[in-house]
Amino acid sequence: MKRVVTHQRSPSPPAETPSLFTYSGDQGVAEPSPSQATTPAVEEPPPADEGAYGAFDPSSPASPPPEGPPDPEKEQERAQDGAQSDYTAHPPLPEEPPTGPFTATAAAGDYLSGLNAAQRRAVETTEGPLLILAGAGTGKTRVLTTRFAHILLEGRAWPGQVLAVTFTNKAAREMRERISALLGRPVEGMWLGTFHALCARMLRTHAPLVGLGRDFTVLDSDDQTRLLKQIMAGQAVDQKRWPARQLLSRIQLWKDSGLLPSDIGPTEDDGMAGGQARALYTRYQQRLRELNACDFGDLMLHMVSLFRAHPEVLAQYRRKFRYIMVDEYQDTNRIQYEWLKMLAQPEAGGSQGAGEAPRAPNIACVGDDDQSIYSWRGADISNILSFEKDFPSAAIVRLESNYRSTAHILGAASGVISFNEGRLGKTLHPSDAAEEGERVMVVDAADSAAEARLVAQMAKRLHQSVPQDWGDMAVLVRAGFQTRPFEEVLMREGLPYQVVGGVRFYERAEVRDAIAYIRAMAQPHDDLAFERIINVPRRGVGAASLQRLRDEASARGLSLQQAVAATLKEGKMKGKAATQLAMLLEVLEKGRAMLGAGPGGAQDLQAHQGASAGGGLRESLGPSHVQAANQVLEGSGYLQMWRDDKSVEAPGRLENLAELLHAMGDYPSLPAFLEHVALVMDSDTVRDDGGRLSLMTLHAAKGLEFDTVFLPGWEEGVFPSQRSVDERGQEGLEEERRLAYVGLTRARKRAVVLNAARRRLYNGWQDAIPSRFLDELPEHHIYRQSQRRPGQPAPHQRSAWGAPSGGTFKHPYRGGTFRAQDAGSGRPGTATTPVRAPAESVPSSTPARPRPTMRPHSFTLGQMVQHNRFGEGTILAVEGDRLTIHFQDHGDRRIMARFVTPLS
């Protein structure tokens, strides 16, 4: 039976000077002090459906509140962006309690039971700045919630005097629920939420100080893009060369960096939008104010700007929040860092009143520098690395006792991350020292297809022998394009799977576009495919023009392509659309010629499937169908459209398109490939007995855990990513290494790392070099499985799924000393047992790796080139496939040749 415990506030927090948060009556409503009448008071924001996040019309001066239920898709997008209106349900609590002490239903002291020594130290260190370095699986959420409850139960503050910041609404909800569970009662008035939600709550009160009404609208990404398109059209910006979405990404990056339009100089502008980026940003902000609206980036930017311009407002929030707690501090960007630092600094004249010495800021940040993996969206690892510099009196507590993974998994992960120089340092160890577990398996596959087959075989074996639920297994890849071979194998084997944090490979928009191009090339009568690509990229064919073409085709009994050809021949279409469509038809015809099926020679896929040999679409032997597809995607401008796209997603989309061409090379003909795609798109009848195996990127896996984790693609250029290393040098490499650490620490019981000797490109096979990260795995924590043939056990002792247990394995792997051939072809009887060099022949230091063979290029000294990020530059040196280039605004850079294009 629970008993009611009354926690006296001893000592009671000193009375505060009159503030913006003066308490009035028993209603919990904050009113302005008479002395502060000129500054807006904190008040409860309107409900979320009254203009907070509704749609708007960018052509109107101000939009009315939206009617009807919210759009579920947009609400989900907003939740992912961290700007859900959580705050509307929690009006601020006054500084002073209405009456009596804070009470809780719990056994005194029970909330600290079960904490280890480091966790308890983090909970009980309440005064002064504190950095909690929480390694993976060390119970950081429990520490945060217990610390919050401890502050309340010790009488150090009331709920409204603690600012608790998370990155996701899910994390905020979990914290709120856990705190209520610890206290045995609901807790109202907490300032607990995401950065955006908390800033929106503040901005509702002070909106007039930044030129907005308190009923301002927060625009979603679709509305932002529409507004920017209108502005760009008004400035005659070529939106084909500079799409609005690209410029919007740049503007959001500027906002995340705390940059106002007046702060944008030539270096930041980077020639985007023909040098008009700053002017467009300025006009965009003006239109937002005219519309009484802001975007997600404004929520924080406005508050930081407001704090700078109105120090009296900042002073009130500093006095209000006696304690600040931040989760995932390693993921903060510049504007988030500035906001937190401003709130955490004590008042110059004393924290509680005139004449008092400033108190040390009570800010506690929880984070793991070894899991900082989001620099591409603005996260700055230096924020956590410089915590002691920012707060010289800071205490540091390291949470190193891991409650998730075995000793071998933790040892392997710690070994890899120890090669990073930019880290604060900690070493994970299992909470149960006896839980040594299985060593990390390192598998060398003959090629990427064999790699996927091996994963499917091992997953099936685990499911049958342990048995392990499908939902307790995951395949974590470096980039989204790598999921394709795994999806195909899993579907072929009838194994249940899901793509987490994304869509299945053949359902991705750019892949569907490309397949539509290929179908339109192979089958001139495929009107559905042609309609999809007729205006992608834009060719001036709007909905009305397309309907006229449909009507023309229907009236004359023609296919849509034939109707376009006839309309052009008869001169019924003029201008840009006529020119662009003529080029499109020419490109498709060239593709058909490469296939060997001239005009009129192609039949639809159904006819091909039912035709006798020699009828229908002729088989395209060899790589001609791949070359034809590449020619169509290139000649149509589709690939160039994504090359010109400056958004964060564009490189991944290009990788997916390259992977599609790779996949085509696995089939002897175009009809065979299209038939395969049709079956894949229609295949969702897999078994579902115990969840689904998860396919996801390493970035999407952060925060998740599984019994078994497969980590394929550990090869130079794939992982670590060549693009990341080329563009960011040592910083990029260290972030890639942190990704490896994150991947390994997702595993509870088993981790399997795979690499392939060869990977298929659309024009053939390319040899791969094992990742340098394999050399960094401590040999006493890993082993290599040597299969004589698929399913055949090795002669030494094996665990239930075919892995050696404990200390029975005799030959730890060191990358680069041998390569498994048995992982290879997948044909029974062809595997051979690899011979490993004797242990004493393995050098103690990491051997130098040969560089991969690169495709030749024609760049020369002094040549002018264009880079998507750095603009125009001059080549100073050529070293193989690496170029040293001087950029006027970015200095000298070493860049891979494939990332630049020559200027004529």
Catalytic residue numbers, as ranges:
140-141, 327-328, 371, 746
Q: What does each C-alpha distance from 608 to 458, 603, 678, 862 come to in angstroms?
A: 37, 7, 14, 54
Euclidean distance between CA atoms 68 and 32, whole angstroms: 35
Euclidean distance between CA atoms 675 and 685, whole angstroms: 18
User: Phi/psi at 718 (nearest 5 deg)?
Assistant: -95, -55
Report angle CA 361, 362, 367 to the nearest 5 degrees. Answer: 110
Helices marked H in 772-889: 772-775
Euclidean distance between CA atoms 363 and 391, whole angstroms: 9
In contact, 423 and 330? CB cutoff 8 Å: no
The DSSP bridge pattern shows strands 29-31 and 191-194 to be unpaired
Report angle CA 509, 511, 512 to the nearest 5 degrees. Answer: 65
Residue 576 is assigned to a ligand binding site: no
Residue 817 is assigned to a ligand binding site: no
Residue 134 is assigned to a ligand binding site: yes
C-beta neighbour count of 792 within 10 angstroms: 11
Tally the C-alpha atoms within 13 A of residue 729's C-alpha that lie toward its C-beta: 4
The DSSP bridge pattern shows strands 706-711 and 747-756 to be parallel
Residue 703 is assigned to a ligand binding site: no
Q: Is 545 exposed, middle or buried (0-12, 13-18, 19+ CB in 10 A)?
A: middle
User: Tokens 């961290």 belong to which residue?
Assistant: 82
DSSP codes joined into one string, 315-340: HHHHHH-SEEEESSGGG--HHHHHHH
Return the DSSP state at 49: T
Residue 140 is assigned to a ligand binding site: yes
Residue 83 is assigned to a ligand binding site: no
- Nearest of 365, 289, 379 to residue 324 by alpha carbon: 365
- Nearest of 684, 229, 725, 733 to residue 498 by alpha carbon: 684
Residue 806 is assigned to a ligand binding site: no
Q: What does each C-alpha distance from 31 to 27, 62, 155, 190 come to in angstroms?
A: 11, 28, 24, 18
Give buried/exposed letters for 297-329 (b at 16+ CB in 10 A, else e): bbbbbbbbbbbeeeeebbbbbbbbbbbbbbbbb
DSSP-based three-state secondary structure for 187: coil
Residue 117 is assigned to a ligand binding site: no
Euclidean distance between CA atoms 778 and 646, whole angstroms: 40
Q: Is 155 exposed, middle or buried (0-12, 13-18, 19+ CB in 10 A)?
A: middle
DSSP-based three-state secondary structure for 697: strand
Binding site, residues?
Answer: 134-141
Binding site for ATP, residues?
Answer: 134-141
